[in-house]
Amino acid sequence: MEDENKLSIYRAARTIKRRENTLYNALRSIHDDSVFVGEISQLWPELPLLANLRCGLWYSPKFHSTCYFKSTDGHTNNWSFNTSRLNLHVAHLAGQKGGCIIVDSTRKGKRFPDSMSKTIPIWTCVFNRAIVNHKSRMQDLDKLTEGVNSDNHEPETSDQDAENTRQASREWDSSLHLPLWVSKTERASIEERLEGWTKELEASGADIASLASCLKKPLRPLWISQKTVIWLNEVPDHDSWDFTPIILVSASSSTGVIQHRTTSEFSWNYIPGAGDDEESWARGLSPDLFWNNVYDIINSGPDMCNQKVANMVEKDRVYRAQRGQNAPQVTLKPPKSLNSTSDPSYVEPVLSLDNLDIKNDIQFCDDDSTVFWLGTTNIAVGTALAAANTTCVDCVMNCGRDSFSACYLNNEAYLHLPIVNSKLDRFSLRNNLASAVNFAKLNLRKGKTLLVFCQNGEDISVCVCQAILTALFDDGGTFDDGKSFSETHITKWEMRRRLVFLCKFAIKARPSRGNLKQVYSFLSGGRPSSHTPSAPSTM
């Protein structure tokens, strides 16, 4: 009887939570929080606004770029500096613009997610330390050069410049800056690991030299939340600081309690960090589609929001399908305890297109069509839409499940590998990598350019490119037809170095751990055939 009571309480709590976390509550909360984000960004309009994926992407209609700092890298006793998520483009962008603003949020009744409390502070500190080490090595080299010049009785014309460089290096702040609420014990534990993380960064092949020349001041995080008090007549200019600011904006209120809010038209429950875990509430809606139609959605009210969004998602699917983009059908399941059509949160499982006017009802969103060229390798990585719109490549490799209309390409210039996510098939990528490498080798030997794409251009296509770069190129990114690969024992560290090289150019790369494991398994356990493509054994 006691177990049944506990189960009943659990079910009741889940039902209450489901009723509170409705689609309208989430979107209205995001819209309210976006006003705060907009106000902060206007305080420093020269600084680029970045969304920390994926939650941060909901909180503004327009971002300059995105970044990917994981909260798990900042969890207590699990601190990490991950060389597969270096976010080098963020540091370069901050150096070029004098700083940047990063937006994120959290559901957990605290002011900042761990990505902002610890992951990014660790990142700035490790980069600062690597830059100091680089400057120190350059100074030692300058001293050696000065000694040679002195022996040869050549005039020393740069003594003052050298001294200025040494002084700047001594003043470069490489200390760890954490928010006040991080305990001294946790700070000490993080500081013990900084030296090791710095060595990992230096060994990863990241271009610290270009970063050192780009950054005029050390990186340093600043934290702003809705509880932060800012005197508008005393907002400092970002150039006035003696550091390059990485301004971390936590978009949501940190009460941790769902608040009931009311306007003249509607009432709703405010949800802190509503943009988090979008799979559980967004019903196929994307941030771009939401912001393209924000006023229609918000003005539809709680009763009509679900149906309004469902229609928009389906119309956008049809629109993208007509443009040749991958657009899977979205099927919505009604909550088991709310299966009445009179309930405002109920949505029919399948939508009919008979009464959908897909021409003028909504503002559609197009997938990203950016193509990232990987240095001088003749290889590019991109999305399905990028492949559809690109005609400046000689051959194309499609790594998505859906076939691609390639009427302008001959059979030798097009390869379709229907690879699925590692969560669906743990060996799908590995079993196709031999064919991918051989196709790339055949075309790169002839000096042809190759575009590798998947649906989002962030995961599967990136992993395929990593396998190609490792199997067919040397450390410097020069095509050698697999010579260095045949002479090298592939380690996980070597894989990381290649991924760092790739992410330097493909700044939106977010390869999953499962797919990276498959690449390593393939490269360490098999070799690409020089003749007919074949899949290596999965044993």
C-alpha dist (Å) from residue 82 to 75, 233, 535: 13, 40, 31
Residues in the chain, overall count: 539
Q: What is the CATH number of domain 371-525?
A: 3.90.190.10
Q: Give the H or E element holding residue 77.
A: none
Alpha-carbon distance 100 to 44, whole Å? Answer: 9
Dihedral sign computed on CA atoms, order 45, 48, 52, 57: positive
Residues with Cβ < 8 Å from 95, sequence gap 6 or more? 211, 214, 215, 216, 244
Q: What is the pLDDT of residue 308?
A: 94
Six token digits for residue 85: 């998520």
Can you read off the two tokens belonging to residue 383? 């999305």
CB-based contacts of 159, cutoff 8 Å, min separation 6 = 146
What string of pLDDT tens digits covers the 539 residues of the chain? 555 555 577 676 556 555 567 999 999 999 999 999 999 999 999 999 999 998 999 999 999 999 999 999 999 899 999 988 899 999 999 999 999 999 999 987 788 999 999 999 999 999 999 999 999 998 877 777 666 555 555 544 455 555 555 555 568 999 999 999 999 999 999 999 999 999 999 999 899 999 999 999 999 999 999 999 888 888 899 999 999 999 999 999 877 556 778 776 788 899 999 999 898 899 999 999 999 999 999 999 999 999 999 999 999 888 877 765 554 443 333 333 434 434 443 333 333 334 444 344 566 555 556 789 999 999 999 988 777 777 788 999 999 887 765 544 566 789 999 999 888 888 999 999 999 999 999 999 999 999 999 988 899 999 999 999 999 999 888 999 999 998 888 888 889 889 999 998 998 899 999 999 999 999 988 444 444 334 343 33
Scan for tokens 């067919």, then name that residue: 472
Full-model pTM: 0.80
**Cα gap 375→1, rounded to integer Å:** 67
Calpha distance 383→318 (Å, rounded): 19
* Residue in 276, 138, 133 with CA at minimum distance from that of residue 206: 133
- Tokens standing for residue 513: 């751990």
Q: Which residues are 221's β-sheet partners? A: 246
C-alpha separations of 5 from 17, 268, 347 in Å: 18, 30, 31
Cis peptide before 320 (omega within 30 of 0): no
Neighbours of 141 (CB within 10 A): 10
CA gap 326, 322 in Å, rounded: 10
The pLDDT, as a whole number, for residue 231 is 85
In which element (H, E) is residue 451 found? strand 450-453
Question: Among 375, 407, 412, which residue's Cα sits nearest to residue 391?
Answer: 407
Instruction: For the sheet with 100-104, list strands across it.
Output: 65-67, 49-52, 100-104, 244-250, 219-224
Q: What residues contact residue 504 under an 8 Å CB cut-off, 6+ apart?
A: 88, 206, 207, 375
Q: Where exactly are the structural domains of the chain?
A: 20-142+169-250, 371-525
How far is residue 448's CA from residue 205's CA, in Å, rounded to a whole number? 27
Instruction: Kindly list the distances between the CA atom of residue 424 and the CA atoms of 282, 405, 456, in Å, as whole numbers in the listed order.
Output: 22, 25, 17
DSSP 119: I
Contact 429, 460 (CB under 8 A): yes
